Amino acid sequence: MHYLVTGGAGYVGSHVALALLEDGHEVTVLDNLSTGHRAAIPAGARFRHADLANATALETILGETRWDGVLHLAALSVVGDSMKSPIHYIRQNMLTSLNLIEGCVRHRIGRFLFSSTAALFDSGSTAPLSETAPISPGSPYGESKFLIERALHWADRQHGLHYGCLRYFNAAGADEQGRLGEDHRPETHLIPLAIDTALGRRPLLRLAGNDYDTPDGTCIRDYVHVSDLAKAHLLTLSRLDEGSVTYNLGTGRGVSNLEVMKTVERLSGQSLPWSWAPRRDGDPAILVTDPTRIRTELGWQPRHTEIDSIIETALRWRLYHPEGYSTPRGTGSQRM
List the catalytic residues.
141
CB-based contact 138:282 (threshold 8 Å)? yes
Cβ neighbours, 10 Å, residue 308 = 10
**Residues 6 or more apart in contact with residue 148 via CB below 8 angstroms:** 93, 94, 97, 98, 101, 114, 116
Q: Beta-strand (E) ranges in the chain?
A: 2-6, 26-31, 46-49, 69-72, 111-117, 162-168, 170-172, 205-208, 220-221, 223-225, 245-249, 255-256, 274-277, 286-287
Query: Residue type for 90, please?
Result: I
> Phi/psi at 29 (nearest 5 deg)?
-95, 130
- Interatomic CA distance for residues 257 and 269, integer angstroms: 18
Q: What angle do CA 95, 101, 106 make, to 5 degrees?
A: 125
Side-chain half-sphere of 151: how many Cα atoms within 13 Å? 21
What's CA 301's distance to the chain center, in Å?
18
DSSP-assigned letter for residue 319: H
